[in-house]
């Protein structure tokens, strides 16, 4: 994974619009959050291989970045993205890592199921 290059991500967002895509969307504080610090509230969710289609999308911010994808009846929104997979030219693979390198958030889009 490399640090996000917003121009490259925007290009991929544009390439993938107006077609059926499989999405992996995830956010997590980690299963051990409350074990290490009882003031923390452990929370997580993920959805894998739901089908979506957006007609417009963009990346914004100065890093960590936000991405919003506008669908015909709603939105996909993600905040906190730091890294993307530059070598992947077919899919958009993005994640946000905290200061310890742990994954906090992920947004992935692909024409094929993950």
Partner 1 sequence: MGQNILVILPHPDDEAFGLSGTLAKYIVEGAHVTYACLTLGEMGRNMGIPPFANRITLPSIRKAELEESCKAIGIQDLRLMGFHDKTIEFEDQDKLDGVIASLLEEIKPSLVFTFYPGYSVHPDHDATGAAVTRTIQRMPAEERPAVHCLAFSKNCEEELGKPDVIHDVSMFIVQKMNSIQAHRSQFQAAELLGKKQLKTKEIEQRFGTERFWTYTFA
Residue from 9, 78, 97, 109 touching partner 1 (CB under 8 A): that is 97
Contact present, 94 and 3 (Cβ < 8 Å): no
Which residues make Cβ contacts (< 8 Å) with residue 44, sequence separation at least 6?
26, 27, 28, 29, 30, 31
Which residues make Cβ contacts (< 8 Å) with residue 59, sequence separation at least 6?
4, 6, 9, 10, 13, 65, 66, 67, 81
Residues 11-50 that bind partner 1 (CB under 8 A): 24, 26, 28, 30-32, 35, 44, 46
Q: CA-CA distance, 17 to 41, in Å (whole number)?
A: 36
Sole window of 14-22, 54-62, 66-74, 103-111 interacting with partner 1 (rule: CB under 8 A): 103-111
Residue from 9, 16, 78, 108 touching partner 1 (CB under 8 A): that is 108
Give least dist CB 24 to partner 1, A.
6
Interacting residue ranges for partner 1, rule: CB under 8 A? 1, 24, 26, 28, 30-32, 35, 44, 46, 83, 85, 88, 91, 93, 95, 97, 100-104, 106, 108, 114
């Amino acid at each position: 994974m490399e640090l996000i290059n917003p121009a490259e991500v925007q290009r991929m967002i544009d390439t993938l619009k107006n077609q059926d895509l499989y999405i992996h969307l995830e956010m997590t504080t980690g299963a051990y959050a409350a074990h290490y610090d009882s003031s923390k509230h452990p929370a997580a969710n993920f959805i894998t291989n739901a089908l979506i289609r957006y007609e417009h999308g963009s990346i914004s911010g100065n890093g960590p970045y936000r991405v919003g994808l506008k669908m015909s009846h709603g939105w996909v929104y993600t905040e906190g993205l730091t890294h993307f997979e530059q070598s992947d030219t077919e899919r958009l693979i993005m994640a946000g890592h905290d200061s310890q390198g742990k994954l906090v958030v992920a947004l992935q889009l692909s024409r094929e199921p993950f």
